[in-house]
Structure 1
Amino acid sequence: MQVNINGIETRYVLSNEGGGPWLTFIHQLGGDLSVWDQLAGYFRDDYTVLRYDVRGHGKTAASSAPFGIADLSHDLATLLDALGAPTTHLVGMSMGGMIAQQFTLDHPTRVDSLTIADSSGGTPQEARATWDQRAATARRDGMVSLVPATLSRWLTPDFQAAHPEAVEQIRDVLTNTLSEGYAMACEALRDFDVRSKLGAIRCPTLTVAGRHDTGTPPASTQAIADAIEGARFELLDAAHLAPIEQSHRFAALLETFLERPV
Protein backbone atom coordinates (compact mmCIF):
# COMPACT_ATOMS: atom_id res chain seq x y z
CA MET A 1 0.00 0.00 0.00
CA GLN A 2 1.12 3.57 -0.72
CA VAL A 3 0.13 6.80 1.01
CA ASN A 4 1.45 10.34 0.68
CA ILE A 5 3.14 11.31 3.93
CA ASN A 6 4.43 14.87 4.23
CA GLY A 7 4.75 15.06 0.44
CA ILE A 8 6.53 11.71 0.12
CA GLU A 9 4.96 8.60 -1.40
CA THR A 10 5.38 6.04 1.37
CA ARG A 11 4.99 2.26 1.22
CA TYR A 12 3.51 0.41 4.17
CA VAL A 13 2.11 -3.03 4.96
CA LEU A 14 -0.65 -3.46 7.52
CA SER A 15 -1.50 -6.90 8.91
CA ASN A 16 -4.49 -6.80 11.22
CA GLU A 17 -5.82 -10.35 11.22
CA GLY A 18 -5.89 -10.25 15.02
CA GLY A 19 -7.36 -6.77 15.27
CA GLY A 20 -5.36 -6.26 18.46
CA PRO A 21 -3.23 -3.36 19.69
CA TRP A 22 -1.00 -1.61 17.16
CA LEU A 23 2.57 -2.85 16.85
CA THR A 24 4.89 -0.87 14.55
CA PHE A 25 8.27 -2.09 13.26
CA ILE A 26 10.90 0.36 11.93
CA HIS A 27 13.81 -0.95 9.85
CA GLN A 28 17.53 -0.18 9.74
CA LEU A 29 19.54 2.12 7.48
CA GLY A 30 19.80 0.46 4.08
CA GLY A 31 16.87 -1.83 4.82
CA ASP A 32 13.15 -1.89 4.16
CA LEU A 33 9.99 -3.32 5.66
CA SER A 34 10.78 -6.84 4.36
CA VAL A 35 13.40 -7.30 7.08
CA TRP A 36 10.46 -7.77 9.47
CA ASP A 37 8.62 -10.40 7.40
CA GLN A 38 9.15 -13.26 9.84
CA LEU A 39 8.44 -11.26 13.00
CA ALA A 40 5.37 -9.63 11.49
CA GLY A 41 4.01 -13.06 10.70
CA TYR A 42 4.59 -14.15 14.27
CA PHE A 43 2.65 -11.26 15.82
CA ARG A 44 -0.11 -10.55 13.31
CA ASP A 45 -2.67 -12.87 14.90
CA ASP A 46 -2.64 -10.89 18.14
CA TYR A 47 -1.69 -7.38 17.01
CA THR A 48 -2.36 -4.89 14.25
CA VAL A 49 1.13 -5.00 12.77
CA LEU A 50 2.43 -2.02 10.78
CA ARG A 51 5.65 -1.98 8.75
CA TYR A 52 6.75 0.81 6.44
CA ASP A 53 9.69 1.98 4.35
CA VAL A 54 11.46 5.03 5.77
CA ARG A 55 11.87 7.86 3.24
CA GLY A 56 14.52 7.09 0.64
CA HIS A 57 14.35 3.36 1.37
CA GLY A 58 12.55 0.45 -0.26
CA LYS A 59 9.61 1.74 -2.29
CA THR A 60 9.28 5.03 -0.40
CA ALA A 61 10.40 8.07 -2.36
CA ALA A 62 13.50 10.02 -1.43
CA SER A 63 13.30 13.42 0.19
CA SER A 64 13.90 16.49 -1.94
CA ALA A 65 15.66 18.26 0.93
CA PRO A 66 17.91 17.30 3.86
CA PHE A 67 16.13 15.94 6.93
CA GLY A 68 16.79 14.92 10.51
CA ILE A 69 15.57 12.11 12.71
CA ALA A 70 12.89 14.51 14.02
CA ASP A 71 11.49 14.67 10.47
CA LEU A 72 11.40 10.86 10.32
CA SER A 73 9.56 10.89 13.64
CA HIS A 74 7.04 13.30 12.12
CA ASP A 75 6.66 10.98 9.13
CA LEU A 76 5.70 8.16 11.48
CA ALA A 77 3.21 10.34 13.36
CA THR A 78 1.59 11.38 10.08
CA LEU A 79 1.42 7.77 8.89
CA LEU A 80 -0.23 6.65 12.13
CA ASP A 81 -2.71 9.51 11.82
CA ALA A 82 -3.53 8.50 8.25
CA LEU A 83 -4.17 4.92 9.32
CA GLY A 84 -6.21 5.86 12.38
CA ALA A 85 -3.79 4.54 15.01
CA PRO A 86 -4.03 6.55 18.24
CA THR A 87 -1.23 4.65 19.99
CA THR A 88 1.21 1.87 19.16
CA HIS A 89 3.86 -0.42 20.55
CA LEU A 90 7.12 0.58 18.82
CA VAL A 91 9.97 -1.69 17.73
CA GLY A 92 12.96 -0.06 16.06
CA MET A 93 16.26 -1.58 14.92
CA SER A 94 19.42 0.49 14.41
CA MET A 95 18.22 3.65 12.56
CA GLY A 96 14.70 2.48 13.36
CA GLY A 97 15.63 2.52 17.04
CA MET A 98 16.70 6.15 16.75
CA ILE A 99 13.41 7.05 15.07
CA ALA A 100 11.57 5.18 17.83
CA GLN A 101 13.40 7.08 20.56
CA GLN A 102 12.69 10.41 18.89
CA PHE A 103 9.04 9.53 18.34
CA THR A 104 8.63 8.51 21.98
CA LEU A 105 10.07 11.83 23.11
CA ASP A 106 7.97 13.78 20.61
CA HIS A 107 4.71 11.88 21.23
CA PRO A 108 4.93 10.23 24.67
CA THR A 109 1.19 9.60 24.97
CA ARG A 110 1.11 7.67 21.69
CA VAL A 111 3.65 4.99 22.66
CA ASP A 112 2.37 1.96 24.56
CA SER A 113 5.84 0.43 24.85
CA LEU A 114 9.27 0.95 23.32
CA THR A 115 11.63 -1.77 22.06
CA ILE A 116 15.03 -0.70 20.72
CA ALA A 117 17.50 -3.09 19.10
CA ASP A 118 21.14 -2.43 18.20
CA SER A 119 20.89 1.34 18.43
CA SER A 120 22.26 4.31 20.32
CA GLY A 121 20.94 7.49 21.86
CA GLY A 122 23.25 9.67 19.83
CA THR A 123 26.34 9.82 17.64
CA PRO A 124 29.51 10.70 19.57
CA GLN A 125 31.53 13.56 18.15
CA GLU A 126 34.37 11.25 17.17
CA ALA A 127 32.02 9.04 15.10
CA ARG A 128 30.39 11.80 13.05
CA ALA A 129 33.05 11.63 10.32
CA THR A 130 32.17 7.98 9.70
CA TRP A 131 28.65 8.96 8.64
CA ASP A 132 30.03 11.66 6.35
CA GLN A 133 32.33 9.09 4.76
CA ARG A 134 29.50 6.60 4.16
CA ALA A 135 27.31 9.31 2.66
CA ALA A 136 30.13 10.39 0.35
CA THR A 137 30.86 6.81 -0.70
CA ALA A 138 27.20 6.14 -1.51
CA ARG A 139 26.99 9.26 -3.67
CA ARG A 140 30.32 8.70 -5.41
CA ASP A 141 30.50 4.93 -5.86
CA GLY A 142 26.93 3.72 -5.43
CA MET A 143 25.48 1.28 -2.92
CA VAL A 144 27.29 -1.77 -4.31
CA SER A 145 30.55 -0.43 -2.90
CA LEU A 146 29.12 -0.47 0.63
CA VAL A 147 27.59 -3.94 0.61
CA PRO A 148 30.52 -6.23 1.66
CA ALA A 149 31.56 -4.20 4.70
CA THR A 150 27.95 -3.58 5.73
CA LEU A 151 26.97 -7.25 5.64
CA SER A 152 30.05 -8.17 7.66
CA ARG A 153 28.88 -5.75 10.38
CA TRP A 154 25.25 -6.77 10.20
CA LEU A 155 25.47 -10.58 10.35
CA THR A 156 27.90 -13.09 11.84
CA PRO A 157 29.77 -15.45 9.49
CA ASP A 158 27.91 -18.42 11.00
CA PHE A 159 24.52 -16.90 10.20
CA GLN A 160 25.59 -15.96 6.68
CA ALA A 161 26.74 -19.53 6.04
CA ALA A 162 23.62 -21.13 7.52
CA HIS A 163 20.99 -18.82 5.99
CA PRO A 164 22.10 -17.80 2.47
CA GLU A 165 18.53 -17.04 1.31
CA ALA A 166 17.95 -14.57 4.15
CA VAL A 167 21.32 -12.96 3.50
CA GLU A 168 20.56 -12.63 -0.20
CA GLN A 169 17.30 -10.80 0.49
CA ILE A 170 19.02 -8.40 2.87
CA ARG A 171 21.83 -7.87 0.35
CA ASP A 172 19.38 -7.15 -2.46
CA VAL A 173 17.50 -4.56 -0.42
CA LEU A 174 20.73 -2.83 0.60
CA THR A 175 22.08 -2.85 -2.97
CA ASN A 176 18.87 -1.38 -4.36
CA THR A 177 18.50 1.36 -1.74
CA LEU A 178 18.59 4.79 -3.36
CA SER A 179 22.11 6.17 -2.98
CA GLU A 180 20.84 9.66 -2.17
CA GLY A 181 18.24 8.32 0.23
CA TYR A 182 20.94 6.37 2.04
CA ALA A 183 23.34 9.33 2.07
CA MET A 184 20.76 11.74 3.46
CA ALA A 185 19.83 9.23 6.15
CA CYS A 186 23.52 8.90 7.09
CA GLU A 187 23.63 12.66 7.61
CA ALA A 188 20.50 12.50 9.77
CA LEU A 189 22.10 9.79 11.92
CA ARG A 190 25.30 11.85 12.17
CA ASP A 191 23.37 14.69 13.79
CA PHE A 192 21.14 12.58 16.05
CA ASP A 193 21.58 12.94 19.82
CA VAL A 194 18.84 12.53 22.43
CA ARG A 195 21.04 11.11 25.17
CA SER A 196 20.34 13.98 27.55
CA LYS A 197 16.58 13.56 27.07
CA LEU A 198 16.13 9.81 27.52
CA GLY A 199 15.34 10.15 31.21
CA ALA A 200 12.01 11.73 30.22
CA ILE A 201 10.79 8.44 28.68
CA ARG A 202 8.27 6.79 30.98
CA CYS A 203 6.79 3.96 28.92
CA PRO A 204 7.86 0.31 29.40
CA THR A 205 11.14 -0.10 27.50
CA LEU A 206 13.09 -3.12 26.28
CA THR A 207 16.53 -2.79 24.68
CA VAL A 208 18.32 -5.61 22.86
CA ALA A 209 21.86 -5.79 21.50
CA GLY A 210 23.96 -8.26 19.56
CA ARG A 211 27.02 -9.50 21.43
CA HIS A 212 29.11 -9.37 18.23
CA ASP A 213 27.90 -5.97 17.00
CA THR A 214 30.98 -3.96 16.06
CA GLY A 215 29.13 -1.07 14.39
CA THR A 216 26.97 -0.26 17.40
CA PRO A 217 28.65 -1.86 20.41
CA PRO A 218 26.28 -3.40 22.98
CA ALA A 219 27.31 -0.74 25.49
CA SER A 220 25.62 1.89 23.32
CA THR A 221 22.29 0.07 23.49
CA GLN A 222 22.72 -0.68 27.19
CA ALA A 223 23.28 3.03 27.81
CA ILE A 224 19.76 3.69 26.52
CA ALA A 225 18.35 1.24 29.07
CA ASP A 226 20.46 2.76 31.82
CA ALA A 227 19.02 6.20 31.06
CA ILE A 228 15.36 5.11 31.13
CA GLU A 229 13.84 4.23 34.48
CA GLY A 230 12.81 0.57 34.65
CA ALA A 231 14.14 -0.28 31.19
CA ARG A 232 15.40 -3.81 30.52
CA PHE A 233 18.52 -4.79 28.57
CA GLU A 234 19.06 -8.14 26.82
CA LEU A 235 22.14 -9.42 24.99
CA LEU A 236 21.78 -11.89 22.12
CA ASP A 237 24.38 -14.02 20.33
CA ALA A 238 24.30 -12.02 17.11
CA ALA A 239 25.84 -9.12 15.25
CA HIS A 240 24.09 -5.85 14.32
CA LEU A 241 20.77 -7.27 13.09
CA ALA A 242 20.11 -9.18 16.29
CA PRO A 243 16.29 -9.41 15.86
CA ILE A 244 16.84 -11.09 12.50
CA GLU A 245 19.79 -13.31 13.35
CA GLN A 246 18.16 -14.47 16.60
CA SER A 247 14.57 -14.10 15.43
CA HIS A 248 13.08 -16.83 17.63
CA ARG A 249 14.78 -15.57 20.76
CA PHE A 250 13.88 -11.97 19.94
CA ALA A 251 10.25 -12.91 19.27
CA ALA A 252 10.05 -14.68 22.63
CA LEU A 253 11.54 -11.68 24.43
CA LEU A 254 9.21 -9.27 22.67
CA GLU A 255 6.14 -11.43 23.25
CA THR A 256 6.82 -11.66 26.97
CA PHE A 257 7.57 -7.94 27.18
CA LEU A 258 4.40 -6.92 25.33
CA GLU A 259 2.23 -9.12 27.52
CA ARG A 260 3.39 -7.65 30.80
CA PRO A 261 0.92 -5.24 32.44
CA VAL A 262 1.61 -1.55 31.98
Structure 2
Amino acid sequence: MLNYTVYNHPESTSWVTFVHGAGGSSSIWYRQVREFRKHFNVLLLDLRGHGNSKPVLKEAFNPKYTFDTITDDILEVIDKEGIEKSHFIGISLGTILIRNLAERHPDRVCSMIMGGAIMKLNLRSQILMRLGTVFKSVIPYMILYKFFAFIIMPRKNHKESRLLFANEARKLYQKEFVRWFKLTSEINPLLRFFRAKDICIPTLYMMGKEDYLFLPSVQKVVADHELSELFIVEDSGHVVNVEQPEIFNKESIAFIKQI
Protein backbone atom coordinates (compact mmCIF):
# COMPACT_ATOMS: atom_id res chain seq x y z
CA MET A 1 0.00 0.00 0.00
CA LEU A 2 1.28 3.46 -0.88
CA ASN A 3 1.94 6.07 1.78
CA TYR A 4 -0.67 8.79 1.57
CA THR A 5 -2.20 11.73 3.44
CA VAL A 6 -5.86 12.72 3.58
CA TYR A 7 -7.24 16.17 4.38
CA ASN A 8 -10.99 16.17 4.91
CA HIS A 9 -13.13 19.21 4.23
CA PRO A 10 -16.08 19.49 6.66
CA GLU A 11 -18.59 20.50 3.96
CA SER A 12 -17.29 19.41 0.57
CA THR A 13 -18.14 16.08 -1.05
CA SER A 14 -15.60 16.57 -3.85
CA TRP A 15 -12.20 14.87 -3.80
CA VAL A 16 -8.96 16.03 -5.42
CA THR A 17 -6.15 13.47 -5.73
CA PHE A 18 -2.59 14.68 -6.39
CA VAL A 19 -0.12 12.46 -8.27
CA HIS A 20 3.54 13.50 -8.46
CA GLY A 21 6.11 12.54 -11.09
CA ALA A 22 9.13 10.23 -11.17
CA GLY A 23 11.74 11.14 -8.56
CA GLY A 24 9.35 13.43 -6.69
CA SER A 25 7.00 12.88 -3.77
CA SER A 26 3.80 14.30 -2.34
CA SER A 27 5.88 17.15 -0.87
CA ILE A 28 6.07 18.85 -4.29
CA TRP A 29 2.45 19.92 -3.73
CA TYR A 30 3.31 21.98 -0.66
CA ARG A 31 2.20 25.18 -2.42
CA GLN A 32 -1.16 23.67 -3.36
CA VAL A 33 -2.37 21.91 -0.20
CA ARG A 34 -3.41 24.93 1.87
CA GLU A 35 -5.43 26.48 -0.96
CA PHE A 36 -7.14 23.27 -2.11
CA ARG A 37 -8.08 22.29 1.44
CA LYS A 38 -10.28 25.40 1.59
CA HIS A 39 -12.53 23.94 -1.11
CA PHE A 40 -12.15 20.15 -1.38
CA ASN A 41 -11.21 16.91 0.31
CA VAL A 42 -7.57 16.29 -0.61
CA LEU A 43 -5.60 13.06 -1.11
CA LEU A 44 -1.80 13.21 -1.48
CA LEU A 45 0.06 10.09 -2.68
CA ASP A 46 3.66 8.91 -2.59
CA LEU A 47 4.18 6.56 -5.54
CA ARG A 48 5.96 3.27 -4.89
CA GLY A 49 9.58 3.77 -3.88
CA HIS A 50 9.07 7.54 -3.52
CA GLY A 51 8.70 9.71 -0.45
CA ASN A 52 7.55 7.51 2.42
CA SER A 53 6.30 4.67 0.20
CA LYS A 54 8.77 1.82 0.43
CA PRO A 55 9.63 -0.34 -2.57
CA VAL A 56 8.90 -4.07 -2.43
CA LEU A 57 12.39 -5.43 -1.78
CA LYS A 58 11.71 -9.14 -2.30
CA GLU A 59 11.86 -9.75 -6.04
CA ALA A 60 9.60 -12.82 -5.84
CA PHE A 61 6.76 -10.60 -4.66
CA ASN A 62 7.61 -7.57 -6.79
CA PRO A 63 5.79 -7.57 -10.14
CA LYS A 64 7.40 -5.86 -13.08
CA TYR A 65 6.94 -2.11 -13.03
CA THR A 66 4.36 -1.16 -15.65
CA PHE A 67 2.04 1.81 -15.93
CA ASP A 68 -0.83 -0.56 -15.14
CA THR A 69 0.71 -1.84 -11.89
CA ILE A 70 1.53 1.71 -10.73
CA THR A 71 -1.99 2.82 -11.66
CA ASP A 72 -3.39 -0.09 -9.61
CA ASP A 73 -1.46 1.25 -6.61
CA ILE A 74 -3.39 4.52 -6.89
CA LEU A 75 -6.69 2.71 -7.33
CA GLU A 76 -5.99 0.63 -4.21
CA VAL A 77 -5.68 3.78 -2.11
CA ILE A 78 -8.84 5.48 -3.37
CA ASP A 79 -10.73 2.21 -2.86
CA LYS A 80 -9.47 1.97 0.71
CA GLU A 81 -10.63 5.52 1.42
CA GLY A 82 -14.03 4.84 -0.14
CA ILE A 83 -13.57 7.50 -2.81
CA GLU A 84 -15.96 6.64 -5.60
CA LYS A 85 -14.88 9.46 -7.89
CA SER A 86 -12.16 12.12 -7.79
CA HIS A 87 -10.66 15.00 -9.68
CA PHE A 88 -7.01 14.18 -10.41
CA ILE A 89 -4.09 16.58 -10.60
CA GLY A 90 -0.72 15.39 -11.86
CA ILE A 91 2.67 16.73 -12.79
CA SER A 92 5.07 15.34 -15.40
CA LEU A 93 5.03 11.50 -15.31
CA GLY A 94 2.08 11.67 -12.92
CA THR A 95 -0.07 12.92 -15.80
CA ILE A 96 0.54 9.65 -17.66
CA LEU A 97 -0.61 7.65 -14.65
CA ILE A 98 -3.77 9.76 -14.36
CA ARG A 99 -4.50 9.38 -18.05
CA ASN A 100 -3.96 5.63 -17.76
CA LEU A 101 -6.32 5.41 -14.77
CA ALA A 102 -8.93 7.37 -16.72
CA GLU A 103 -8.56 4.97 -19.64
CA ARG A 104 -9.02 1.89 -17.48
CA HIS A 105 -11.55 3.30 -14.98
CA PRO A 106 -13.25 6.35 -16.53
CA ASP A 107 -16.10 6.12 -14.01
CA ARG A 108 -13.65 7.03 -11.21
CA VAL A 109 -12.41 10.27 -12.80
CA CYS A 110 -14.37 13.56 -12.63
CA SER A 111 -11.70 15.61 -14.38
CA MET A 112 -7.96 15.74 -15.01
CA ILE A 113 -5.54 18.62 -14.54
CA MET A 114 -2.28 17.84 -16.28
CA GLY A 115 0.66 20.01 -15.22
CA GLY A 116 3.78 19.72 -17.37
CA ALA A 117 2.00 16.94 -19.24
CA ILE A 118 4.00 14.40 -21.21
CA MET A 119 2.13 13.37 -24.34
CA LYS A 120 5.04 12.71 -26.70
CA LEU A 121 8.80 12.25 -26.49
CA ASN A 122 10.47 14.31 -29.20
CA LEU A 123 13.78 13.33 -30.76
CA ARG A 124 15.84 15.04 -28.07
CA SER A 125 13.87 13.30 -25.32
CA GLN A 126 14.30 9.92 -26.99
CA ILE A 127 18.06 10.43 -27.30
CA LEU A 128 18.21 11.26 -23.58
CA MET A 129 16.32 8.09 -22.73
CA ARG A 130 18.65 5.97 -24.84
CA LEU A 131 21.71 7.50 -23.21
CA GLY A 132 20.20 6.84 -19.80
CA THR A 133 19.46 3.22 -20.72
CA VAL A 134 23.11 2.72 -21.71
CA PHE A 135 24.61 4.35 -18.61
CA LYS A 136 21.98 3.71 -15.89
CA SER A 137 23.88 0.78 -14.36
CA VAL A 138 27.34 2.36 -14.38
CA ILE A 139 26.75 6.03 -13.52
CA PRO A 140 25.36 7.00 -10.09
CA TYR A 141 21.70 7.73 -10.62
CA MET A 142 21.85 11.21 -9.08
CA ILE A 143 24.26 12.35 -11.77
CA LEU A 144 21.89 11.09 -14.45
CA TYR A 145 18.88 12.57 -12.69
CA LYS A 146 20.47 16.02 -12.34
CA PHE A 147 21.54 15.94 -15.98
CA PHE A 148 18.01 15.09 -17.16
CA ALA A 149 16.51 17.71 -14.83
CA PHE A 150 18.78 20.36 -16.32
CA ILE A 151 17.84 19.40 -19.89
CA ILE A 152 14.12 19.52 -19.07
CA MET A 153 14.37 22.63 -16.83
CA PRO A 154 17.40 24.58 -18.11
CA ARG A 155 16.65 28.20 -17.25
CA LYS A 156 17.62 30.21 -14.21
CA ASN A 157 14.01 30.57 -13.10
CA HIS A 158 13.67 26.74 -13.19
CA LYS A 159 16.38 26.31 -10.52
CA GLU A 160 13.95 25.87 -7.61
CA SER A 161 12.18 23.05 -9.46
CA ARG A 162 15.47 21.32 -10.27
CA LEU A 163 16.65 21.50 -6.67
CA LEU A 164 13.32 20.31 -5.27
CA PHE A 165 13.25 17.24 -7.50
CA ALA A 166 16.93 16.49 -6.90
CA ASN A 167 16.40 16.59 -3.13
CA GLU A 168 13.44 14.21 -3.40
CA ALA A 169 15.27 11.90 -5.82
CA ARG A 170 18.05 11.37 -3.26
CA LYS A 171 15.56 9.30 -1.24
CA LEU A 172 15.39 6.68 -4.02
CA TYR A 173 17.52 3.55 -4.06
CA GLN A 174 19.70 3.03 -7.15
CA LYS A 175 17.72 -0.14 -8.00
CA GLU A 176 14.45 1.75 -7.64
CA PHE A 177 15.67 4.48 -9.97
CA VAL A 178 16.60 1.88 -12.59
CA ARG A 179 13.11 0.35 -12.38
CA TRP A 180 11.43 3.70 -12.90
CA PHE A 181 13.83 4.69 -15.65
CA LYS A 182 13.12 1.48 -17.50
CA LEU A 183 9.41 2.21 -17.16
CA THR A 184 9.80 5.64 -18.77
CA SER A 185 11.94 4.23 -21.57
CA GLU A 186 9.00 2.03 -22.65
CA ILE A 187 6.54 4.88 -22.81
CA ASN A 188 6.14 5.65 -26.51
CA PRO A 189 3.39 3.13 -27.47
CA LEU A 190 1.24 4.25 -24.54
CA LEU A 191 1.62 7.93 -25.40
CA ARG A 192 0.81 7.21 -29.05
CA PHE A 193 -2.45 5.57 -27.92
CA PHE A 194 -3.32 8.50 -25.64
CA ARG A 195 -2.76 11.02 -28.43
CA ALA A 196 -4.93 9.06 -30.82
CA LYS A 197 -7.89 8.50 -28.49
CA ASP A 198 -10.10 11.26 -27.16
CA ILE A 199 -11.18 10.01 -23.75
CA CYS A 200 -13.97 12.63 -23.41
CA ILE A 201 -13.23 13.53 -19.77
CA PRO A 202 -12.86 17.26 -18.95
CA THR A 203 -9.12 17.93 -19.01
CA LEU A 204 -7.09 21.06 -18.32
CA TYR A 205 -3.49 21.07 -19.50
CA MET A 206 -1.38 23.53 -17.49
CA MET A 207 1.86 24.02 -19.41
CA GLY A 208 4.74 26.41 -18.88
CA LYS A 209 5.52 28.56 -21.90
CA GLU A 210 9.17 27.52 -21.47
CA ASP A 211 8.37 23.79 -21.39
CA TYR A 212 9.92 23.42 -24.83
CA LEU A 213 10.22 19.62 -24.76
CA PHE A 214 6.54 18.88 -24.13
CA LEU A 215 4.36 21.92 -24.92
CA PRO A 216 4.19 21.46 -28.73
CA SER A 217 2.71 17.95 -28.52
CA VAL A 218 0.15 19.04 -25.92
CA GLN A 219 -1.00 21.86 -28.21
CA LYS A 220 -1.72 19.30 -30.92
CA VAL A 221 -3.60 17.02 -28.52
CA VAL A 222 -5.82 19.84 -27.27
CA ALA A 223 -6.69 20.77 -30.84
CA ASP A 224 -7.90 17.20 -31.48
CA HIS A 225 -9.59 16.31 -28.17
CA GLU A 226 -13.03 17.79 -27.61
CA LEU A 227 -13.13 18.27 -23.82
CA SER A 228 -9.52 19.40 -23.44
CA GLU A 229 -8.35 22.92 -22.64
CA LEU A 230 -4.87 24.42 -22.55
CA PHE A 231 -3.65 27.15 -20.22
CA ILE A 232 -0.12 28.34 -20.96
CA VAL A 233 1.68 29.77 -17.92
CA GLU A 234 4.07 32.63 -18.61
CA ASP A 235 7.57 32.62 -17.08
CA SER A 236 7.36 28.92 -16.25
CA GLY A 237 8.99 25.73 -17.38
CA HIS A 238 8.02 22.11 -16.81
CA VAL A 239 7.03 22.16 -13.12
CA VAL A 240 4.30 24.79 -13.25
CA ASN A 241 2.87 24.12 -9.79
CA VAL A 242 6.21 25.04 -8.18
CA GLU A 243 7.26 27.89 -10.45
CA GLN A 244 3.88 29.67 -10.66
CA PRO A 245 1.80 28.26 -7.78
CA GLU A 246 -0.66 31.16 -7.51
CA ILE A 247 -1.68 30.87 -11.17
CA PHE A 248 -1.70 27.08 -11.00
CA ASN A 249 -3.97 27.08 -7.95
CA LYS A 250 -6.36 29.72 -9.24
CA GLU A 251 -6.87 28.16 -12.67
CA SER A 252 -7.09 24.60 -11.34
CA ILE A 253 -9.65 25.39 -8.65
CA ALA A 254 -11.76 27.39 -11.09
CA PHE A 255 -11.67 24.51 -13.58
CA ILE A 256 -12.75 21.95 -10.99
CA LYS A 257 -15.58 24.15 -9.72
CA GLN A 258 -17.07 24.55 -13.17
CA ILE A 259 -17.31 20.76 -13.71
Please give the TM-score of this superposition, normalised by the length of structure 1.
0.84
How many Å separate the matches in 2 of 1:136 and 1:58? 27
- 8 Å Cα contact 1:135-1:184 kept in structure 2: no
Correspondence 1:149-228 to 2 at 5 A: 149-152=147-150, 153-154=152-153, 156-160=155-159, 168-192=163-187, 193-197=190-194, 199-214=197-212, 216-228=213-225
| 1:238 partnered with 2:236 | yes
Shift of 1:174: 1.8
Q: Which amino acid aligns with 1:213?
A: D
Shift of 1:173: 0.7
Single out whichever of 147-156 and 60-69 deviates more from structure 2.
Answer: 147-156
Q: Decide which of 27, 30, 35 is 2:23's aligned counterpart.
A: 30
Which ranges of structure 2 fall in alignment gaps of 5 or more residues? 57-61
Q: Which amino acid aligns with 2:5?
A: V
The number of residue pairs the alignment matches comes to: 248
- 8 Å Cα contact 1:89-1:113 kept in structure 2: yes
- 8 Å Cα contact 2:88-2:112 kept in structure 1: yes
How many Å separate the matches in 2 of 1:155 and 1:168? 12
From the superposition, tell whether residues 86 and 155 of structure 1 become closer, same or farther in structure 2 (CA, over 3 Å). farther
Structure 1 equivalent of residue 4 of structure 2:
12
Shift of 1:201: 1.2
How many Å separate the matches in 1 of 2:125 and 2:65? 19
Correspondence 1:15-164 to 2 at 5 A: 15-20=7-12, 21-63=14-56, 64-123=62-121, 127-128=125-126, 130-135=128-133, 137-152=135-150, 153-154=152-153, 156-160=155-159
Structure 2 equivalent of residue 7 of structure 1:
none
- 8 Å Cα contact 1:138-1:180 kept in structure 2: no
Shift of 1:75: 1.3
- 8 Å Cα contact 1:142-1:179 kept in structure 2: yes
Q: Render the CA deviation track for 1:143-201: whole Å, top value 9, x for unaligned.
A: 321343244333631353xx6xx765433112222222222222222223243345341
How many Å separate the matches in 2 of 1:77 and 1:257? 23
How many Å separate the matches in 1 of 2:181 and 2:15? 29
Q: Render the CA deviation track for 1:182-229: whole Å, top value 9, x for unaligned.
A: 222222222232433453412211001112224x32112223323421
> In structure 1, the residue corresponding to 2:84 is in which secondary structure?
coil
Shift of 1:87: 0.5
Shift of 1:238: 1.0
> In structure 2, the residue corresponding to 1:38 is in which secondary structure?
coil
How many Å separate the matches in 1 of 2:40 and 2:163? 29
Please give the TM-score of this superposition, normalised by the length of structure 2.
0.85
Over the matched positions of the two proteins, sequence identity in percent amounts to 19
- 8 Å Cα contact 2:153-2:162 kept in structure 1: no
From the superposition, tell whether residues 186 and 227 of structure 1 become closer, same or farther in structure 2 (CA, over 3 Å). farther
How many Å separate the matches in 1 of 2:133 and 2:177? 7
Shift of 1:34: 0.2
